[in-house]
A and B are shown apart, each in its own frame.
Chain A
Amino acid sequence: MNAFALAPLVLGLPILGVLFNGFVGRRFVEADRSVGEKWSGWAASIMALSAFVIVVLLYFSLQANGHHAEIVPMMDWISIPSANFHIPWAMQIDTLSVTMMLVVTGVGSLIHIYAIGYMHGDPNFSRFFTYLNLFLFFMLILVSGNNYLMLFVGWEGVGLCSFLLIGFWFDRTNEKGEAMNANAARKAFVANRVGDLAMILAMSLTFWTFGTLNFEPVFDSAVEMFHSGAMVHFGAFSASLGGVLTAITALFLVGATGKSAQIPLLVWLPDAMAGPTPVSALIHAATMVTSGIYLIVRSNVLFEIVRESHALVLGVISSPDLVALVGALTAVYAGLIAFTQFDIKKVLAYSTVSQLGFMIAAVGMGAYVAGMFHLITHAFFKALLFMGSGSVIHGMEHGHHHISHGHGHDNHHDHFDPQDMRTMGGLRHHMPTTFWTYLVGSLALAGIVPLAGFWSKDEILAHASANSGGINTVVYILLTIAAFCTAFYMARQVKMVFFGEPRHKAAEHAHESPRTMTMPLVILAILAILGGLLNFPHFGAEAEAAHGAETAVVAAGEHAAEVESAGGLNLALEHWLEHSIASFHLTEEGVVEMPHTPTTLQIPVATISSVLAIAAIAIAYFLVYGSRPKTADERDPLQATPIWWMAVLPLNTLYMGYIVPAFNRLAEWAAHTLDWAFWHDFVHDNIIRNIFVGFANFASNVLDAQGVDGIVNGSGSVARWLANQIRRSQTGYARNYALSVFLGTVVLLAYFLFMAR
């Protein structure tokens, strides 16, 4: 069976949802709140679920097809024949894009259903689902396009949806009267645009280097040019392929730091938590923020060529190494900041940044499958955690609602923050489903055997340690520290939220969320437990045997996929993705396709990270937070330690404290002083006008008085006469000057034409 022709429906269904909710959804909700919400919410959810079903069909079609990438053309987009510039709207259905689409539509569907419960009662219920479907549409374009420009459509489109959804409650203000949701939305968009600048430059360079932006031809000709040692020439520019690709890949990295919130552009993601929680789960944890990883994995051929060609960014570091380093540094940095947060969602936000750092580090080291593996498991457990936190917030809000009604009106005006962990505590009794699922998610994230996060994180660490030397050793150490941080801040959070005694009346009256919210939690919890099976590693001797077998097969000129059956369940993702991710090395014979390093469980690495994780949990749970904090305003025990310095996020301070005010001052000065007072008023209204006046007088008096010849005399007189007429009119002198200048020019021209001959 072949379902490739159905692929455009994956994009069409969410758009159908957008149209439904955008045009009629609101009327349904306004006509009858409870029924209308069901229509609106389920219409959107069914579109997401149907898209998921189609992606599953695509999955089977690919399997039946021998995993060959299928291009599904839809229509022409940009085409300039004389420049040989052609960009289609076409989908590329291969194992990588289907993997991403499964995550997006699968996790996306669950979040849609969850949001029906979460957004219940919101006055703009249908608008929310319009945006959610629109997001799905752009995210699917991003991962399914067959060229960079389509990827970029999705890339900016999801940025737009992120803007709209972060700013969903755009009328909310904080105590200072700042519209912080709207500010956060704008900050996210602008930070992403910095990355987009790099993307545009990278795409332009790619086009001139390879003559196309379609993935397959770009990669094919990249390999070919690398093989033949061709130089890159366009316009008046020429450079080595390695040099150009270093620029392109470094620019892709900048793009990825914007979208995937890495150093130095990560500052928008924590603020983005102002959006509704389903948005945080869908966009800012599971899908959109992983776009940067997808971009790098998709461009793996380019990164590998750079690695092989030994070209350096600014003569310092090769671009894949830079990717790995940025990822690893971000992982540690954000992991440390997560310690210092009191907002339940901000902890998760920094955790997301940190985990994205793991993925970026992985793909930078060339461990593409490990990066994708972590992307998938992270989508499961981080979506779970965000939705769990949403359930907690929901519960706290209801608890607060309950007490403020119970005790009259005096509580209405306090600034109760339902996201502040200091007001929580003891919620495990009030919200059992949320608690257990949250616990599963936390342990998965902390990397505890045998939950999903353990396997995927271990694979990244194993790769770093197995290929040690150079940057990988640094990355290994940084990521191990980051893994320790992860376990610590999650244990801190679980302790503060669910254990101990309630620290606020709202927490005492919190209650479990409705079924539409808890059901997705349970499903995701199951996935977070079993997710490791996706790419289950080999163990010990079995691994050696499999490794030998694969090498032998490659040596015999066969494709590594032939040994897929030998692995069985093991490394399923590896074998699935290897059809989209090339792996090659430069040898004396040129480019040779290589199998991916079969991943075995590295017992020492796994032991170290497990011990560290358990130690971190123990420290967090028993030592630091043993019996404290007891009341909502008690200090966090960590506040006495240097770790708290991280709370003052230096990057955010740099941007918001220095760059933004400097830009504001520059703009004020440019607009009001330079452009208006100086250029507009002073220069134009004084200097240029005076020159006009002088020139006009010259034309009508001097030239005329001296009488160059008859014609000139005549025109000069006319000018003076006209000038006198106009001078009397009340509209001022301007027309006079205009006319004089005009006639003066005629005079000059006449002189030029007739006298100069």
Chain B
Amino acid sequence: MGLLTIVTFLPLLGIIWILLQDKEKDDERVKRIALGTSIVTFIATIVVLALYDKSEAGLQLVDRVSWIPAWGIEYHMGVDGLSILHILLTSFISMLAIASSFPIIKQQVKQYYSFLLALEIGMMGVFLAQDLFLFYVFWEFTLVPMYFLIGIWGGKDRVYASIKFFLYTMAGSLLMLLAILYMGITNGTFSLPDLIAGRAAFASAQNLLFVGFAVAFAIKVPVFPFHSWLPDAHTQAPTAGSIILAGVLLKMGTYGFVRFNLPLFPEASAHYAPTIAVLAIIGIIYGAIVSFAQRDVKKLVAYSSISHLGFVMLGIFSLNAQGIQGGILQGINHGISTGALFFIVGIIYEQRHTREISEFGGVWMAMPVYSVLSLIVVLSSMGLPGLNGFVGEFTILLGSIGAASLGPNAWIYTAFATTGVILAAVYLLWMFQRVFMGPLDNPENKKLRDINKGELAIMLAFLLFVFWIGIAPSGYFALMDASVAELVKTVGSAVASLP
């Protein structure tokens, strides 16, 4: 049993331990077990990082055993430059999501933390699985705990939101399942490296197969116009659920594009790049405009994800090193910044039990520390240089303007995408002004307490990465450079062969 298997299934030990606790009596103990498990998992991913050789482009720390030999299905786990940051993000965000739930979740505590830990297993598996069938199992598995997290501990429309979330993402996955089965059965293997090596066998069908995968991933991201599940799920989920949804689950979609679509169907990727770039840019602009008019802070943050993920998609389908690395890093950045934004919204919601922007104003005077930290996160989300968001955004735009995949008019795509920079300032500052600035005239808001030590610790954990990635991102790029370079070589020649 290799390290990656241990990392993935560590939370299972926590779940078992939690389920062994006495019913309802030991809520505090359950919380400690959950947090402890997630911390150990986080440390385990750090160990993976320590053992990871960033100069190596291929899969590392591979666990590979036969699972269903008759179908050529294997249990195959491995880590490379495309996944290393994602598993770190997963364990980091899961840890903070669990910690952030302590004061919030008071009912069915055991089940709640069990589902959170189960979700972590699923997400980790998605980022590590190197067998298409295994990947699909983990992919679908993540739906189940999330479905219950939203449906049981969510807001007042939680049932509707959870069902919609489940249906929508599952329906999208079915085409992917078809594509996976087709490739697996025609090639006699579901192993991703083997399929990439033998991709000539299904090259003629690659446009269809590309679409099969792309729809599943596009719904997850979500790419415009497949975003309709997102505002429901994000707003109805409990704070921790929103943090994980935005922080990690959406990245499963963008990761899927990089992990599967690009190397398996390079010609199709080059072929569809302009189409996806257009959808991405519509998402950037549309998401920002729709965010602007929201009256509920949480919904505003939810829609902002559509805009941010548009940048990520644009970067990936630039199909060059800047774009793809920028895209992956911006996915991480979005996980940190938007995760932190949901956390911020959660803090104020727990005190006021409302998220209506018009209910607030002048919060800065009541909660100075909270407000300053929130401002930093807002600025990070806006892409202020020196903070994390800018690094990703700039490398993406740099990639897209020089993208051969977008043709000689790539600069037009980039010019439109860059308007997202203005719009981000428009909707985020408008929100910031109405919530934090202005007179403190609502008596309810005068009673607000500033953040406590626990909340501060979580915020500082987010902010550490906001500054670190903003000021010294080279180490992060170095982790993925070799793998992305390899990938760019593959898709690059496909782009060059375009008519």
Query: In the complex the two chains form, what is the Cα distance from A666 to B427 in whole Å?
Result: 13
- CB contacts (< 8 Å) of B391 on chain A: these are 78
Mark contacts of B326-368 with chain A using CB atoms, 8 A cut-off: 1 yes-contact digit, 0 otherwise: 0000000000000000000000000000000000001011000
Query: Which of B394, B407, B437 sits near A200, CB closer than 8 Å?
Result: B394
What are 18 pairs between A and B in contact, CB < 8 Å? A83-B320, A83-B325, A170-B364, A171-B437, A173-B439, A179-B433, A190-B429, A200-B418, A201-B411, A204-B402, A668-B293, A671-B289, A675-B286, A684-B228, A741-B171, A741-B174, A745-B178, A753-B181
A residues near B, CB below 8 A? 75-83, 85, 89, 149, 152-153, 155-157, 160, 163, 167, 170-173, 179, 182-183, 185-186, 189-190, 193-194, 196-197, 200-201, 203-205, 207-208, 234-238, 663-664, 666-668, 670-672, 675, 679-680, 683-684, 692, 731-732, 734-735, 737-738, 741-742, 745, 748-749, 752-753
B167 touches A742 (CB 8 A): no
Residue of B164, B228, B408 with most partner-chain A CB within 10 A: B228
Taking a contact as CB atoms under 8 Å apart, the answer to whether A82 and B472 are in contact is no
Contact between A189 and B437, CB atoms less than 8 A apart = no
CB-CB nearest in chain A for B159: A731
| Segment 474-490 of B: residues with Cβ below 8 Å from A | 474, 477-478, 481-482, 484-485, 488
Docked CA distance A332–B322 (Å): 44
Residues in B with CB closer than 8 Å to A683 are 228
Interface pair B418/A742, CB less than 8 Å apart:
no
CB neighbours of A200 from chain B (8 A): 394, 397, 418, 421
User: Within the complex, what minimum Cβ distance (angstroms) separates B362 from chain A?
Assistant: 6
Q: Which residues of B contact A153 (CB under 8 A)?
A: 385-386
Q: Given the complex, which residues of B lie within 8 Å of A149, measured CB to CB?
A: 385, 394
Minimum distance in angstroms from B330 CB to a CB of chain A = 13
CB–CB A201/B481 < 8 A: no
* Shortest distance from the beta carbon of B225 to any chain A beta carbon, whole Å: 7
Q: For the complex of A and B, list the 6 residue pairs with the smallest distance between their C-beta atoms, beginning with the closest.
A: A671-B293, A82-B485, A83-B321, A734-B163, A170-B437, A667-B293
Which of B170, B232, B433 lies in contact with A186, CB distance below 8 A? Answer: B433
Tell me whether A197 and B477 are in contact (CB under 8 A). Answer: no
Q: Is B415 an interface residue (CB 8 A)?
A: yes
Instruction: Note all chain A residues with C-beta closer than 8 A to B408.
Output: 235-238
Could you say which residues of chain A place their CB within 8 Å of the CB of B231?
680
Chain A CB within 8 A of B202 CB: no
Contact with A along B409-446 (1 / 0, CB 8 A): 11100110011011001100110010001111000000
Measured in the bound complex, the distance between the Cα atoms of B477 and A77 in whole Å is 11
* A179 x B472 contact (CB < 8 A): no
Q: Which residue of A lies closest to B432 (CB)?
A: A186
Within 8 A of A (CB), among B201-251: 225, 228, 231-232
The answer to whether residues A201 and B438 also contact, given A208-B401, A671-B289 and a CB cut-off of 8 A, is no
Q: Using Cβ atoms and an 8 Å threshold, which residues of chain B touch A152?
A: 385
- Taking CB atoms, residues of chain B closer than 8 Å to A203 are 394, 398
In the bound complex, CA of A68 to CA of B423 (Å): 42
Known contacts A77-B471, A78-B473, A667 near B421 by CB under 8 Å: no
Proximity string of chain B (142-167) to chain A, C-beta cutoff 8 Å, 1 when within and 0 when not? 00000000000000000100011011
Across the interface, do A737 and B290 meet the contact criterion of CB distance under 8 Å?
A: no
**Interface check B185, CB cutoff 8 A:** yes
Which chain B residue shows the least CB distance to A731? B159
Q: Is the CB of A208 within 8 A of B402?
A: yes
CA distance A376 to B419 in the complex (A): 34
A670 touches B414 (CB 8 A): no
Chain A hits for B325, CB < 8 A:
80, 83
The reply to whether B171 and A731 contact each other, CB–CB distance below 8 Å, is no
Q: Are A81 and B292 in contact (CB under 8 A)?
A: no
Known: A156-B384, A182-B433, A668-B293. A205 touches B401 (CB 8 A): yes
Contacts of A745 in B (CB 8 A): 174, 177-178
Q: Return B456 CB to nearest CB of chain A, in Å.
A: 13
Tell me the complex Cα distance, A524–B15, Å.
70
B294 at the interface (CB under 8 A from A): yes
Known: A186-B430, A196-B421, A667-B293. A77 touches B178 (CB 8 A): no
Are A675 and B421 interface neighbours, CB within 8 A? no
Tell me which residues across on chain A come within 8 A of B95, comparing CB atoms.
none
Cβ-neighbour of A85 out of B163, B167, B185, B398 (below 8 A): B398
**B123 interface contact, C-beta 8 A:** no
B403 within 8 A of A: yes
Looking at the complex, which one of A78, A83, A193 makes contact with B474 (CB distance below 8 Å)?
A78
Contact call B289/A667, Cβ cutoff below 8 A = yes
**A85 cross-chain contacts in B, Cβ below 8 A:** 321-322, 395, 398
Q: How many angstroms between the C-alpha atoms of A687 and B406 in the bound complex?
A: 34
| Residue B404, interface by CB 8 Å | yes
Known: A173-B439, A668-B293. A77 touches B320 (CB 8 A): no
Pair A75/B472 contact, Cβ less than 8 Å = yes
A236 CA to B290 CA, complexed, in Å = 33
The reply to whether B164 and A734 form a contact with Cβ atoms under 8 Å apart is yes
Contact, CB under 8 Å: B425 / A157: no
Q: Which residues 164-203 of B sit at the A interface, judged by CB distance below 8 A?
A: 164, 166-167, 170-171, 174, 177-178, 181-182, 185
Complex: how many Å from CA A155 to CA B390? 13
- Report yes or no: B407 in contact with A204, Cβ–Cβ below 8 A: no
Q: Which residues of B contact A (CB under 8 A)?
A: 159, 163-164, 166-167, 170-171, 174, 177-178, 181-182, 185, 225, 228, 231-232, 286, 289-294, 303, 320-322, 325, 362, 364-365, 379, 384-386, 390-391, 394-395, 397-398, 401-404, 406-411, 414-415, 418-419, 421-422, 425-426, 429-430, 433, 437-440, 471-474, 477-478, 481-482, 484-485, 488
- For B171, give the chain A residue with the smallest CB separation: A741
Besides A235-B410, A236-B408, 20 other A-B contacts (C-beta < 8 A): A75-B472, A79-B478, A82-B484, A82-B488, A83-B320, A83-B322, A160-B384, A170-B433, A171-B365, A194-B422, A200-B397, A200-B418, A204-B394, A235-B408, A679-B225, A680-B231, A731-B163, A734-B167, A741-B170, A753-B185
Task: Report if A738-B292 is in contact (Cβ < 8 Å); known contacts: A80-B322, A193-B425, A236-B410.
Answer: no
**Chain A residue, CB-CB nearest to B168:** A684
In angstroms, Cα B474 to Cα A77, docked, is 6
* Contact between chains at A79 and B421 (CB < 8 Å): no
Q: Least Cβ distance of B356 to chain A in Å?
A: 15
A183 to B325, CA, bound (A): 37
Contact A749 B290 (CB under 8 A): no
Q: Out of A197, A237, A675, which one reaches B422, CB within 8 Å?
A: A197
- A193-B362 CB under 8 A given contacts A156-B384, A182-B438, A745-B178: no
A155-B473 Cα distance, complex, nearest whole Å: 20
The listed residue with most A CB atoms (<10 A of its CB), out of B409, B411, B478, is B411
A contact residues around B171 at 8 Å (CB) = 692, 738, 741
Contact (Cβ within 8 A) B170 A738: yes
Determine if B418 and A201 form an interchain contact, defined as CB atoms under 8 angstroms apart: yes
What is the distance, in angstroms, from A558's C-beta to the closest C-beta of chain B?
42
Q: Which of B321, B398, B422, B440 contacts A207 (CB 8 A)?
A: B398
Q: How far is the CA of A735 from the CA of B471 in the complex (A)?
A: 47
Query: Is the pair A189, B429 in contact by a Cβ cutoff of 8 Å?
Result: yes
CA distance A679 to B397 in the complex (A): 29
Among A155, A197, A237, A672, point to the contact of B293 (Cβ < 8 A): A672
Across the two chains, which residue of chain A brings its CB closest to B382?
A193
For residue B386, give the distance in angstroms from its CB to the closest CB of chain A. Answer: 5
A179 and B286 in contact (CB under 8 A), knowing A197-B422, A208-B401, A734-B166?
no
- A235 and B404: CB pair below 8 A? yes
Q: Given A76-B472, A671-B292, A197–B421 Cβ distance below 8 Å?
A: yes
A731→B162 CA distance, assembly (Å): 11
Smallest CB gap from A81: residue in B: B481
Residue among A155, A173, A237, A692 having the largest count of chain B Cβ atoms under 10 Å: A237
By beta carbon, the residue of chain A nearest B181 is A749
Which residue of B415, B429, B484 has the most chain A CB atoms within 10 A of its CB atom?
Answer: B429
Point out the residues of chain B lying under 8 angstroms from A78, CB to CB: 391, 394-395, 473-474, 477
A194 contact set on B, CB distance < 8 A: 422
Distance (Å) between the CB of B232 and the closest chain A CB? Answer: 8
Q: Which residues of B contact A752 (CB under 8 A)?
A: 178, 182
